Amino acid sequence: MQSYVLAADLGGTNLRMAAVSEKGAILSHALMPTPDAVSSSQLGGLLDQLAEECRDGIKGVGQLSAVGMGVPAPVPANFDGILTKLPNIRTLQGTDLGLLLKEVFNVPFHIENDATAAAIGEHWLGATREIDSSICVTLGTGIGGGLILNGQPLRGRDGSGGEMGHICVEPEGHPCGCGSRGCVEQYASATAITRIANEKGLFTNDAREVYTAFRKGDSRAVETFSTMARYLGIMLAGLVNTINPERIVLVGGVTAAWDAFAADLEAEIANRAYEAPALRAKLVRGVLGDNAGILGAARGAIDAWLE
Ligand SMILES: [Zn+2]
């Protein structure tokens, strides 16, 4: 009988789950909006409900071997399972997620930071497969990141390994939710793109509309994306020198606007980083789309099971 893992991705907007085979095939999936002010006990019920939908999707074939979950919170190398810092889902602060997963599923489990999970997913099955060292940047509402060094994810002692959204690129710049100013998240996320376009007199509801304007040749949209590319390039040039990766993979919703910023971004990195590492670090788009994080969480579950 074939076994499978369940992998979940907890986001500020949606809670997703998939049944995934040992080889990384998504067998079924389920999704629901993350309720406002979701509580720990409510989360347990919702995970159970999504698991039921995933099981229905595969018609009860196979046996659940492990569970993996990506969370928008720091996950240290030796994580105790307690969620400490969730700026986007504050009501889950202090939740013992390890205990909760054990109660709901009673199988081995693995918890991963969501951006690190995306890096692991792309490394397992996507754009950085068989690449030893890579930088993964998640460009969405905010900016996150994950590092794969010598084939292994960098988690860090306090779970901030790979966190690159709050690298400062403008010392006296726009204030950031993290308490600092001028973080790259304030210049290159979807939220930032909308704000920058707005500052240039292009009033839109979201970054998607800024991209639509770019496609129509609107000069304010063109400038917005080159500003975004410049700041993202400043951040990545520093990391390219520091880490000397073979690949930089960009994932998340903003990558839909690839043609609006990728050339400028490459040029900025080339202008600022040392020549050899800049040439080495190939800039690519993720290939797993929304599934990168969920597949990374699945990989963690499979490893937890094999242990
Ligand atoms: Zn910040």
Task: Read off the amino acid at residue 205.
Answer: N
Let me know: does 143 contact 137? Beta carbons within 8 Å. Answer: yes
To the nearest whole percent, how much of the chain has pLDDT over 90?
Answer: 92
How many angstroms does the Cα of residue 168 sit away from the middle of ligand 1? 8
In the reported structure, the alpha carbon of residue 167 is separated from the centroid of ligand 1 by a whole-number distance in angstroms of 7
φ, ψ (nearest 5 deg) of residue 16 = -120, 155
Burial (CB < 10 A; 0-12, 13-18, 19+), residue 151, is exposed
d(CA 176, ligand 1 centre) in Å: 4
Centre of ligand 1 from the C-alpha of residue 31, in Å: 29
* pTM score over 0.75: yes
DSSP 35: P
Distances (CA, A) of 76 to 80, 83, 210: 8, 11, 37
- Check residue 109 and report its DSSP letter: E
Closest residue by Cα to residue 177 from 83, 82, 85: 85
Written as one string, the DSSP assignment of 275-286 is HHHHHHSEEEE-
Q: How far is the CA of 196 from the centre of ligand 1 (A)?
A: 17
40 CA distance to ligand 1 middle (Å): 27
For residue 159, what pLDDT is reported? 94
State in Å: Cα 162 to ligand 1 middle.
14
Residue at token pair 């600022």: 272
Distance (angstroms) between ligand 1 centre and the Cα of 216 equals 32
Spatial contact of 134 and 250, defined as CB atoms under 8 Å apart: no
Ligand 1 centroid–CA 184 distance in Å is 7
Q: How far apart are the first and last CA of the chain?
A: 20
Task: Identify the DSSP state of 168.
Answer: B
Tell me how far the alpha carbon of residue 17 lies from the centroid of ligand 1, in angstroms: 29
Using the mean position of ligand 1's atoms as its centre, give its distance from the Cα of residue 192 in Å.
12
Q: What distance in Å separates the CA atoms of residue 253 and residue 286, rounded to the nearest whole number? A: 11
- At residue 124, what are phi and psi to the nearest 5 degrees? -75, -50
What pLDDT sits at residue 307? 83
pLDDT at 13: 87
Quote the pLDDT of residue 61: 74
> If you measure from the C-alpha of residue 114 to the centroid of ligand 1, how many angstroms do you get, rounded to a whole number?
17
Counting as low any pLDDT under 70, the low residues of the chain are 1, 60
Residue 7 CA, chain-centre distance (Å), reads 15
Amino acid found at 138: T
Distance of CA 298 from the midpoint of ligand 1 (Å): 29
pLDDT score recorded for residue 85: 86
CA of 194 to the centre of ligand 1 (A): 17
Q: Give the model's pLDDT for residue 1.
A: 55
Q: How is the beta sheet containing 63-71 ordered, strand by strand?
A: 26-33, 14-21, 3-10, 63-71, 109-113
User: How far apart, in whole angstroms, are the C-alpha atoms of residue 84 and residue 232?
Assistant: 28
Residue spans of alpha helices (H) in the chain: 40-57, 97-105, 114-125, 185-188, 190-199, 207-215, 219-243, 258-272, 275-280, 292-306
Residues 6 or more apart whose CB falls under 8 angstroms from that of 40 comprise: 92, 95, 96, 100
